[in-house]
Amino acid sequence: MSENNKEGKIPMPTPNFKVDANPGSHVKKMIAVVSGKGGVGKSSVTGMCAMWSVRKGYRTGILDADVTGPSIPKMFGVGPEDVSGTDQVLYPAQTQTGIKIMSMNLLMTDENQPVVWRAPVITGAIKQFWTDVEWGDVDYMFVDMPPGTGDVPLTVFQSLPIDGIIVVTTPQDLVSMIVKKAVNMAKIMNVPILGIVENMSYVRCPHCGEEIHIFGESQLEKIAEEEGLKVIGRLPIDPALTAACDSGLAEYYENEQLEGLDTVLPALE
């Protein structure tokens, strides 16, 4: 009987769907950034994790697994012209600080065209980002996961060798328990949750610096304790972050830190 059955949870068959990395890729740890639903700041947090990693001197990559809503290249100001390759292999784009990136948007001539593909084709593309891209040496690879807990994120979990998960949530999702779906998906997939980030947690008053909790008192500590999760950080709603991401200058955003990364990521070793 599997662990899930013992705990009275939904039984989950665990066949091995993992695909092999490109022979030219040596990735030490792969961390998936997930959320229970879309639009909570998953891509922004993925970018901030990568920025933390590269500032600490780690070789860093971002695999943008959000094929239908890729936003990582725009945040870092890279485009199709930054990707090179041969008949056999693709090389990731590199940002100014050296973060390696592969994303659907880097392979499209017109980034405004929607990717109108069915789930198996989407997951096929994500697998190719792993098998056909030569990533070289990477200490931490962050995977911007497709939003939600459906077919595509499930297949990504089953296909890529994910070592740990970072859950991104907003104050409202903590209250409505959407975050628990993401947490339960991680448990079913048997991947350790490194911790939780509460995005859009508060607004900082530009005059006095006070934290204004526009969604009420944060439930983060309570839910984190209930679920046995570490708190990686709380990020305010900050117009400077939106502006930096919209103009491709995310790498130069330094206002807030996800200080919990200092402990949870090195602990993966």
Ligand X SMILES: Nc1ncnc2c1ncn2[C@@H]1O[C@H](COP(=O)(O)OP(=O)(O)OP(=O)(O)O)[C@@H](O)[C@H]1O
Residues that bind ligand X (CB under 6 A): 35, 38-44, 66, 69, 71, 147, 199-200, 235, 237-238, 241-242, 245
Token pair 């934290």 is at which residue?
A: 211
Amino acid, single-letter form, for residue 246: D
Backbone angles phi, psi at 122, to 5 degrees: -60, -50
State the Cα–Cα distance between residues 127 and 246, nearest whole angstrom: 28
Give min distance, CB of 178 to Mg ion, in A. 16
Q: Which is nearer to ligand X, 193 or 258 (CB)?
A: 258
25 vs 199, beta carbon nearer ligand X: 199
Say whether residue 169 binds Mg ion (CB under 5 A).
no
In whole angstroms, the minimum distance from the beta carbon of 265 to ligand X comes to: 20
Residue 11: name its binding partner from ligand X, Mg ion, none (Cβ under 5 to 8 Å by kind).
none
The secondary structure of 40-64, three-state, reads CCHHHHHHHHHHHHHHCCCCEEEEE
Cβ distance to ligand X smaller for residue 227 or 238: 238
261, 49 in Cβ contact below 8 A? yes
Q: Name residues contacting Mg ion, limited to 139-158 (CB under 5 A).
A: none
Q: Are 166 and 232 in contact (CB under 8 A)?
A: yes
| Shortest Cβ 102–ligand X spacing (Å) | 16
Would you count residue 43 as binding Mg ion (CB under 5 A)? yes
**C-alpha to C-alpha distances, 194 to 37, 206, 241, nearest whole angstrom:** 19, 32, 24
- Which 3 state secondary structure label does DSSP give 211? strand
Q: Pick the piece of the chain touching Mg ion (CB under 5 A) from 66-74, 88-96, 108-116, 194-202.
A: 66-74
Crossing angle, helix 151-159 and helix 119-131, to 10 degrees?
Answer: 30
| Part of the chain binding Mg ion (CB under 5 A), chosen from 70-78, 211-219, 227-235, 255-263 | 70-78
> Nearest approach, Cβ of 69 to Mg ion (angstroms)?
6
DSSP state of 21: P
Residues in the site for Mg ion, rule: CB under 5 A?
A: 42-43, 71
